[in-house]
Amino acid sequence: MAAVVYVHVGAPKTGTTYIQDRLASNKSRLAEHDVAYPVGLHGDMFRAALDLIDRPWDGQVDGFRGEWDALVRRTRRARSSAVISQEVLACATAQQVDRAVTDLAPAEVHVVFTARDIARQVPAAWQELLKHRRTVSYRRFLLGIRDPRSQGRIGREFWEVQGLPEVLERWGRSLTPDRVHVVTVPRPGARDGELWSRFCRAVNAEADWAPRDDARRNPSLGVAESAMLRKLNGRLRRAGVEGTDYRRVVREVMVHQVLATGAVHPRLTLPHDWFDWAEEIAESWRSWIRASGVEVIGDLDDLLPVPPDPDATWVDPDRVRPRDVADAALSALTAMVEEAARRSDPDERLRAKAAKATRRLRER
């Protein structure tokens, strides 16, 4: 039975995809050091997390029933320690957190929260909404999160997973401060592997226990690419494209494989006149962390926004030049044509099967 369980609860857009893929890629090597990553047949813990927080996904709820209990059973089979990692756990309610801690008993539960400066989180969070078929403008999104006490959907969805004090007060309510760990995401330019090294320290592991680094990244889109995707989402919604088709074709192929990796337009940032607000948020987080006594792995200065170059021009994703949007659309269209050419035509596959069956009959 696992003596210690580390529950990594996010936040989203803080390198969680990278961390989870590296854990999965090195699962056997980590097990040699008595560190279990108890994923099931699906290869991740997304379904189990949805089951715990009782949230639907593309209209599905019942399909995830029992996944959390199955994860708990796998975790209990660990010999020494286990790591659970899924960023949607950040929005668990106090009652759901209590259930998680109770279900994992008698193991000693620790909570790990990866945190990045809010000036980088805001544009990344908006782009993530676009990747999930949303069409909200950047301006409306910014106004929706400006007041942390906002009761609107945008503000509520953002702060329940991104608000560091709020998340850790829920997840740490029954834990002593030494069992709550904040891992700060290094600033751009940090040495390669620094985030992984910090995460390993949080879960009492050594970075070299997991040498394979073929994990996926979840890169950001350029401004024009973001504007194009928002417009496309509106068209696809009116066309009635199903969520499963959208994820498979638009998000996985067009966005992740083409637009995010080949973006040539300026990257999206927080508006320059919003940095004072971002600094206030960062200082409030740093003050809360210091007063709480939780463990910090990294540097609290990593949470401070880096002021923009005063001479730099901020590009508004709601007002991108049409030719830039068209350029991004042509890149996406080219990728879709290439993808369609790689896939066999269903009619051709059926004809090939029929021809093969005919040849076998003639050979008899």
Listed residue (112, 74, 70) closest to 201, CA to CA:
112
Which helix H or strand E contains 182, and what residues bound it? Answer: strand 180-184
**The pLDDT of residue 262:** 65
Backbone angles phi, psi at 171, to 5 degrees: -80, -25
Distance of alpha carbon 351 from the chain centroid:
42
Measured CA to CA, the distance from residue 282 to residue 301 in angstroms comes to 9
Question: Cβ atoms within 10 A of the Cβ of 23, count?
Answer: 26
**The pLDDT of residue 252:** 87
> Cis peptide leading into 227, omega within 30 of 0?
no
Measured CA to CA, the distance from residue 229 to residue 136 in angstroms comes to 11
Listed residue (28, 26, 38, 18) closest to 81, CA to CA:
38
Listed residue (105, 219, 142) closest to 150, CA to CA:
142
List the beta bridge partners of residue 110: 6
Residue written as token pair 């949607």: 88
Measured CA to CA, the distance from residue 138 to residue 270 in angstroms comes to 10
Q: Is 213 helix (H, G, I), strand (E, B) or coil?
A: coil
**The pLDDT of residue 55:** 84
User: What are 34's two structure tokens?
Assistant: 């008595």
Q: Is 2 helix (H, G, I), strand (E, B) or coil?
A: coil
**The pLDDT of residue 364:** 44
Measured CA to CA, the distance from residue 223 to residue 225 in angstroms comes to 5
* DSSP string of 4-26, one letter each residue: EEEEE---TTSSHHHHHHHHHHT
Measured CA to CA, the distance from residue 189 to residue 203 in angstroms comes to 24
Measured CA to CA, the distance from residue 192 to residue 216 in angstroms comes to 15
Backbone angles phi, psi at 325, to 5 degrees: -65, -40
> Cis peptide leading into 346, omega within 30 of 0?
no
Measured CA to CA, the distance from residue 97 to residue 166 in angstroms comes to 13
pLDDT in tens, the chain (364 residues): 689 999 999 999 999 999 999 999 999 999 999 999 999 888 899 999 999 999 877 655 567 889 999 999 999 999 999 999 999 999 999 999 999 999 999 999 999 999 999 999 999 999 999 999 999 999 999 999 987 565 588 999 999 999 999 999 999 999 999 999 999 999 999 999 999 999 999 999 999 999 988 656 667 789 999 999 999 999 999 999 988 889 888 988 889 888 877 656 788 999 999 999 999 999 999 999 999 999 999 999 999 999 998 888 999 999 999 999 999 999 888 888 887 787 766 555 555 555 555 555 455 4
Domains and CATH numbers, the chain: 4-220+271-303 (3.40.50.300), 223-267+321-364 (no CATH)
